[in-house]
């Protein structure tokens, strides 16, 4: 079966998550992706090294070929340049001084290959005082963008965010930029630079509230002053200790539905609840009433009642349940792999679906240096040269067939 990007070669020299994640999406749609790693391997391989399966690595490295190059050595850089000469896309999250040191800066690589799409990912952007600041999604996406500030309870510290969320959303943006540049190349024949960052994606994700602050509606300050009190967009606990998120954007219209669903039709006879002003003036009382009513019902009972009134809500799903959710499986969000590893029987698909294009079935990620020898031979190098580079540590291999 033909796949959309099978004529593209992507060099993934990025580390950890967002940059490699963009390359993974390319690979899902058929691109050949060669992963470049240092002799010690990408640190992401062993992020959860004590677990018997490197599950993070499997998610972000499926379909890829792994090559070990020591870019601190001139010959390692020369081999990288040979690969770039054949490539369509180069993905990196090197800082500027690293790019220059490794011979992997945009000017050098695009002189080698003018059609190259040079995709750069950073934490805080490539200019400005923070351009060399190390960024993780916790710091650059969650915290620096203001998202974390909006999630804190009044006068309390926010909950420390889970990792990878900002990285994965940023990977989508980098992928979109790469595809946009490839489309432009089809028209002009020339490559281009693509850049995005954790802070740019965090700000875009938080755009609604940042735009509010620009226009004078500072939700962060409002939450600091008053706390979050709306009973119509809140989280409630059920009798069986499950959490339900209720969201109503039209409280006056939906209040009768909520009253019926929660088993309190008598609330409808209170004239205060006929207008938005009345509902909000009694919001603390209503929040308590909603909480007590939800707490008297099991999650199954409450979900059934809310569904009967066509209200917008969701259970706060537990991670162990999400990966077995029939809705996600039927919509090919959680998908089977072709791996024989029992810890990698299923994985998370990228969220893009095309009606006339299929994705590759996820397979096991490569071992460190698994494809080094095969790719060096493909480049036309002799066995004696390769043997010398192995001895000198320019390259490394885990190819068991050789």
pLDDT of residue 154: 76
170 shares a domain with 286:
no
Question: 15 lies in a domain?
Answer: yes
49 shares a domain with 150:
yes
- Report the CATH number that the domain containing residue 62 is assigned in CATH: 3.40.50.10540
259 shares a domain with 187:
no
Q: Tens digits of per-residue pLDDT, 6-35?
A: 999 999 999 989 999 999 999 999 999 999
Nearest to 268 by CA among 280, 259, 281: 259
Identify the domain boundary among 258, 288, 320: 320
pLDDT of residue 229: 72
163 shares a domain with 288:
no
Cα–chain-centroid distance for residue 305?
34
For residue 52, pLDDT beyond 70: no
Return d(Cα 244, Cα 381) in angstroms, integer: 61
Assign 227 a pLDDT band (cuts: 50, 70, 90). Answer: low
Domain that holds residue 32: 9-205+371-396
Return d(Cα 369, Cα 5) in angstroms, integer: 24
Assign 332 a pLDDT band (cuts: 50, 70, 90). Answer: very high
pLDDT of residue 313: 97
Nearest to 124 by CA among 35, 234, 213, 201: 201
pLDDT of residue 56: 86
Count, residues in the chain: 402
pLDDT of residue 401: 53
pLDDT of residue 152: 84
Q: Tens digits of per-residue pLDDT, 101-130?
A: 999 999 999 999 999 999 999 999 999 999
Nearest to 120 by CA among 175, 17, 195: 195
258 shares a domain with 201:
no
Give the three-state DSSP class for 118: strand
Residue 360 in contact with residue 56, Cβ under 8 Å?
no
Phi-psi region of 203 (alpha: psi -120 to 50; beta: other; left: phi over 0): alpha
Question: 365 lies in a domain?
Answer: no
Assign 47 a pLDDT band (cuts: 50, 70, 90). Answer: confident
Place of tokens 């990912």: 121
Question: 334 lies in a domain?
Answer: no
Cα–chain-centroid distance for residue 318?
19
Residue 64 in contact with residue 14, Cβ under 8 Å?
no
Return d(Cα 122, Cα 38) in angstroms, integer: 19
Mean pLDDT, to the nearest integer, of 52-64?
86
Question: 23 lies in a domain?
Answer: yes
Mean pLDDT, to the nearest integer, of 341-363?
94
292 shares a domain with 161:
no
243 shares a domain with 392:
no
Give the three-state DSSP class for 44: helix
How many domains in the chain? 2
Q: Strands 243-247 and 346-348: what pairing?
A: unpaired
Nearest to 65 by CA among 340, 401, 371: 371
Q: Can you name the residues that pair with 24 across neighbouring β-strands?
A: none
27 shares a domain with 167:
yes
Q: Tens digits of per-residue pLDDT, 142-200?
A: 999 999 998 888 778 888 999 899 999 999 999 999 999 999 999 999 999 999 999 99
Return d(Cα 219, Cα 288) in angstroms, integer: 23
Question: 140 lies in a domain?
Answer: yes
DSSP 8-state code for residue 124 = S
Nearest to 125 by CA among 177, 176, 195: 195
- Report the CATH number that the domain containing residue 251 is assigned in CATH: 3.30.1540.10
For residue 53, pLDDT beyond 70: no
Identify the domain boundary among 301, 320, 339: 320
Q: Tens digits of per-residue pLDDT, 286-299?
A: 999 999 999 999 99
State percent of the chain over pLDDT 90: 84
Give the three-state DSSP class for 328: helix
Nearest to 80 by CA among 8, 7, 10, 11: 11
Helices (H) and strands (E) in the chain, counts: 18, 12
Structure tokens that stand for 188 in this block: 């002009």
157 shares a domain with 20:
yes
Question: 335 lies in a domain?
Answer: no
Q: What is the reported pTM?
A: 0.91
252 shares a domain with 184:
no
241 shares a domain with 183:
no
Question: 357 lies in a domain?
Answer: no
Question: 295 lies in a domain?
Answer: yes
Phi-psi region of 159 (alpha: psi -120 to 50; beta: other; left: phi over 0): beta
118 shares a domain with 15:
yes
């Amino acid at each position: 079966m033909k796949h959309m990007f099978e004529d593209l070669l992507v060099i993934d020299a990025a580390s950890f998550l967002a940059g490699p994640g963009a390359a993974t999406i390319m690979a899902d749609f058929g691109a050949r992706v060669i992963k470049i790693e240092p002799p010690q391997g990408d640190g992401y391989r062993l992020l959860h090294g004590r677990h018997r399966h490197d599950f993070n690595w499997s998610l972000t490295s499926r379909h890829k070929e792994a090559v070990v190059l020591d870019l601190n050595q001139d010959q390692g850089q020369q081999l990288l340049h040979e690969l770039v000469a054949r490539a369509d896309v180069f993905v990196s999250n090197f800082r500027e001084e690293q790019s220059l040191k490794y011979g992997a800066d945009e000017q050098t690589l695009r002189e080698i290959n003018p059609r190259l799409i040079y995709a750069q990912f950073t934490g805080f952007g490539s200019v400005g005082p923070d351009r060399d600041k190390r960024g993780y999604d916790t710091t650059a996406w969650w915290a620096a963008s203001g998202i974390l500030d909006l999630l804190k309870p009044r006068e309390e510290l926010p909950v420390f965010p889970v990792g990878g969320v900002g990285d994965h959303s940023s990977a989508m943006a980098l992928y979109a930029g790469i595809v946009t540049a490839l489309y432009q190349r089809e028209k002009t024949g020339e490559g281009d630079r693509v850049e995005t960052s954790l802070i740019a994606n965090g700000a875009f994700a938080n755009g609604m509230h940042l735009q509010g602050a620009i226009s004078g509606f500072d939700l962060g300050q409002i939450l600091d002053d008053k706390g979050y009190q709306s009973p119509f967009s809140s989280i409630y606990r059920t009798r069986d200790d499950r959490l339900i998120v209720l969201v109503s954007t039209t409280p006056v219209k939906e209040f009768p539905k909520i009253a019926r669903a929660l088993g309190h039709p008598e609330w409808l006879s209170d004239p205060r609840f006929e207008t938005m002003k009345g509902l909000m003036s009694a919001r603390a009382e209503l929040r308590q009433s909603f909480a007590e009513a939800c707490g008297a019902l099991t999650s199954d009972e409450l979900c059934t009642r809310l569904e009967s009134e066509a209200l917008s809500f969701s259970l706060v799903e537990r991670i162990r349940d999400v990966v077995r959710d029939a809705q996600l499986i039927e919509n090919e969000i959680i998908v089977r792999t072709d791996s024989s590893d029992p810890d990698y029987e299923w994985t998370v698909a990228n969220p893009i679906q095309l009606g006339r294009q299929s994705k590759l079935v996820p397979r096991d990620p490569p071992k460190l240096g698994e494809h080094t020898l095969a790719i060096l031979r493909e480049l036309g190098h002799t066995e004696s040269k390769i043997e010398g580079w192995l001895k000198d540590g320019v390259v490394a291999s885990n190819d068991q067939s050789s």
